Structure 1
Amino acid sequence: MSDRNALIADFLAGAGLAEARRDPLPGDASTRRYERLTTPAGSTLMLMDQPPATESLPCDPSWTAAQRHAAGWNAVARLSAGRIEAFAAVAAHLRHAGLSAPEIVAVDAPNGLAVIEDFGDDLFARVIEDGEPQAPLYLAAVEAIARLHLTGLLPEVMPGLGGDWPLLTYDAIALQGGADLFVEWMPKLHPGLHFGPAARDEWQAAWAPVVAMGEARAWVMAHRDYHAENLLWLPDRSGHRRVGLIDFQDAVLAHPVWDLHSLLQDARRDVPPELEAVALDYYFDIMQVDREEYRRDYAALAALNEARILGVFARLIARDGKPRYRQFMPRMWGHLEQNLKRPELSQVRSWFDRHVPKEMRG
């Protein structure tokens, strides 16, 4: 038995789960893995296994820009580095807000282990593939976002079973750093592309108004990875509680549209434009906000996020040898091209027209 397996066995024994059957689940792009635990009585739980040493440090709230860049990508982007205590603290906040986040059964934060409630396998993407009408699921997901946005004053530090965790702002450094993944990694996927110092300066200048807006209007908690592969359908519950939330450990203070565009301009599946429009109107009706302002911000931050995701996919393919992410890139290019039609994004659109040939956008 490896040291890690022995550690997990001891942790499960301490949680009263020594006799549980362990069934690994398929992995994703992260360094985290899951196992389904089935007790002798037939009930199930989930083991979350995230070794802390596998990632660079998360962002200390006191760090300067230079310190964040020196510490690595997690600090720049204000990612949690997969820390179990982040998951547990955000879960506690979400549950307090009346949302369906998993109950935390046991935690060993220093060793990156947790046992959590099992929401089953009914991911939105899978139940839609199996024939479930998608509009009720998406509108329930919008209800859950609105519920989160209506929770009032947010804490600077969230307590949880694994310890306290700060709620940081998705600030200009993180937003621009995300966009910059495109100019850093796309040339490594397409050697014909080259972005010299002047092009990179123009890139940052083009995005500057979007970045400033995103930071200035960051006032709600954003799940940050809110899409059909991270939401579970819980039909036995009611209203927004039918939406089971997972993978929220990177939550930050962000603009209210952030989770909306993650949900409705999904990298992995097509959301019909008419459903996107209905879902946005549903959110606007619940929140009573300035529709045109929010549509403008929605398109701008969605475009920035799509540039970021294209850079992430290029990195996964070129550096990590994961070619399956290539299949999602045409969809992201399509969303990006559509958003760049907005007049306020003309400077960004001009940059793409000058530096990225049409045949490489797809």
Structure 2
Amino acid sequence: MTPVGANEPTPNAEAMIRELFLADEAATMRLGADLALVLRAGDVVALSGDLGAGKSTLARALIRALAGDPDLEVPSPTYTLVQSYDTAPPAFHFDLYRLADPSELAELGFEEAAETGIVLCEWPEQGGVEKGANLSIRLEAPESGCRRVGLSGTAETIGRVARSLDLRAFLARSGNGAAPRRRLFGDASPRRYEAVAGAAGPLVLMDAPALPKGPLIRHGRTYNDIAHRAETIVPFLAIAKALRHEGFHAPAIHDFDLAEGLVLLEDLGRDGLLDAEGEPIPERYEAAVRCLAAIHGRSWPDSVEVAPDLRHEIPSFDRDALTIEIELLIDFYFPSFFGRPARDDERQRYLDVWGRLFDHLDESEKSLLLRDVHSPNVLWCEAAEGIGKVGLIDFQDAMIGPSAYDVASLAQDARVTIPEEMELRLLDAYAEARRTAGRFDEVAFRRAYAITAAQRGSKILGGFVRSSEHDGKSQYLRHIPRMKAYLRRTLKEEVLKELSSLYGEWGLTA
């Protein structure tokens, strides 16, 4: 038997089974920590194996990872039978070695624990738990210094576990096979992020498998096709390269795997545009808007080489993309607001009004748009110099389009309230930076700003309702009052007079 690390799993013949070999106790603990990254409330993990097989070692490492405390005291529940931990989600460690009868499980609160948290159960056969576990782990005592581990369970659970093991294998290939990992809060997308204590410093691991192709909805194209949403990591890699080439502070790429959708990148830290109370820091927002002015003052290529024989063509924020985004309001927010779908004549009137506004945008200045320049996606790098203090992330959906769009994204931040006077100061700072750098049509910019702010606000209102109804992400609904307030503010502009009349008639922003 040749020992290999936990980072090198070998798939078995059945899709619901994985087998791996752990070279030492450190590898066992690493496996426990890696499992903690993908377990969820409702998971029941059956830990089987003889005395000394490593069940408690694995469980202890998993619980410490959930708690984010490598020194957490995790006693064996051999005599208490169960030990609970206030983690997120809560963890329950059962040891049924001394269980007299399976009926005693009810008294121990097993069923409730399995509904509300993660259950780790040693000696599951004593209570018949292994039959209901969605993940079973059988450990064998080390043989010649190597521990054999078999993982089986439901296809969904094994899929999650397998992905975590694949991430560990990727880290090993990049020279970070033993690096500790911890979960980072993600965004509204299917992407996941982890902080990695890399051999040469902190890194971020982006887990972004290719998105499945959605249904064809219009002229043989999917929603993602029409809206130019990134479906692989290729656009992210390309835009990061382009930004860094021009001196902007996008994260450096340390390694990537195109087939698996994995990227290991520079960690720009956790400091952002908000203070400890979650309020905007005006000076940092101004630095960010001046960074946008610098981006919009540059010339950008239409395509970027990502790897030999692989180029990313930066899409245009064209009429089709603009339109399908504002249709989110008529398709989702309108029915939620009125309790009925829009009639054909209402939809056509809505699209006609927006079509005339998009005619104005056809004549506006075009530049590279990062698309989501708001507080979650702008980091503050205090140690950097000048414009490098503004760290840029989450730009995989970048396009070439009206430069005012990104300014609206920042100055009408969807996640935090920007007071009107602060918004006006940001617009003035942007215009001043553009005038200083060269020729700049401020009148045309402010007209485009009003249109793109209204377009983005309308899209987000519909998008938040869709996220709640289709993806179960009701937390986004709390931002709707803020977005309606931004729209009321923006609709005062003369260029939006017709749209203001329509929204007022419908009462959408009341």
TM-score by length of 1: 0.89
Q: Residues 151 and 361 of structure 1: is their aligned pair in 2 closer, same or farther, counting only changes over 3 Å?
A: closer
Whole-Å separation in 2 of the counterparts to 1:265 and 1:339: 10
Shift of 1:71: 2.8
Residue 12 of structure 1: how far off its partner (Å): 1.3
Please say if residues 31 and 50 of structure 1, whose CA atoms lie closer than 8 Å, have aligned partners that are also in contact. Answer: yes
Flag the structure with larger Rg: 2
1:9 to 161, 168, 173: 168
1:122 shift after superposition: 1.0
1:32 aligns with 2:191: yes
* Cα distance, 1:148 vs structure 2: 1.0
Letter in 2 for 1:275: M
Q: 1 or 2 for the larger relative contact order (CA 8 Å, sep ≥6)?
A: 1
Distance in 2 separating the partners of 1:68 and 1:11: 38
Residue 200 of structure 1, CA deviation? 0.6
CA contact (8 A) 1:143 1:239 kept: no
Question: In the alignment, which of 274, 281, 296 is matched to residue 428 of structure 2?
Answer: 281
Q: What secondary structure sits across from 1:229 in the alignment? A: helix
Q: Secondary structure at the match of 1:111?
A: coil
- 1:315-334 aligned within 5 A: 315-334=466-485
Instruction: Look up the match of 2:260.
Output: 111
Provide closer, same or farther for how the CA distance between residues 68 and 12 of structure 1 changes in structure 2, counting only shifts above 3 A. farther
How many residue pairs match? The answer is: 346
- Counterpart-to-counterpart distance in 2, 1:109 and 1:218: 34
Q: CA deviation at 1:212?
A: 2.5
Q: Counterpart in 2 of 1:160?
A: 306
Structure 2 CA distance for partners of 1:151 and 1:304, relative to 1, 3 Å: same
Tell me the residue number matched to 1:98.
247
Code of the aligned partner of 1:171: D
Q: Which runs of 5+ in 1 are unaligned?
A: 58-65
> Could you say which residue in structure 2 is the equivalent of 1:196?
343
> Does the Cα contact within 8 Å between 2:195 and 2:204 map onto a contact in 1?
yes
Which range is displaced more, 327-336 or 207-216? 207-216
Is the Cα–Cα contact under 8 Å of residues 217 and 223 in structure 2 kept in the other structure?
Answer: no
Give, in whole Å, the separation in 1 of the partners of 2:186 and 2:366: 32
Give me the TM-score of the superposition, normalised by structure 2. Answer: 0.64
Question: In structure 2, what is the Cα distance between the partners aligned to 1:53 and 1:301?
Answer: 27
> 5 Å matches for 1:258-273?
258-273=405-420
What is the root-mean-square deviation of aligned Cα atoms in Å?
A: 2.2
Query: Residue 151 of structure 1: which of 290, 294, 298 is its match?
Result: 298
Point out the structure with the larger strand share: 2
Q: How does 1:281-360 map to 2 (within 5 A)?
A: 281-288=428-435, 289-354=440-505, 356-357=506-507
Q: 1:46 to 1:317 in 2, by over 3 A?
A: same
The answer to whether 1:20 aligns with 2:20 is: no
Give the SS at the match of 1:105. strand
Identity %: 33
Mapped contact 2:366–2:400 kept (Cα < 8 A): yes
- For residues 337 and 272 of structure 1, what CA distance do their matches in structure 2 show? 13
CA distance 1:68–1:84, shift in 2 (3 Å): farther
CA distance in 2, matches of 1:68, 1:109: 29
Q: What CA distance in whole angstroms lies between the structure 1 residues aligned with 2:477 and 2:187?
A: 15
**Aligned counterparts of 1:137 and 1:161: Cα–Cα separation in 2:** 35
Q: Is the 8 A contact 2:271 2:379 kept in 1?
A: yes
2:391 corresponds to 1:244 = yes
For the pair 1:176 / 2:334, whether they are aligned, the reply is no
Distance 1:286 1:128, change over 3 A: farther
Question: In the alignment, which residue of structure 2 is the partner of 1:361?
Answer: 509
Residues 1:139 and 1:55: Cα distance change in structure 2 (over 3 Å): farther
For 2:246, the aligned partner's letter is A
**Post-superposition offset of 1:164:** 1.9
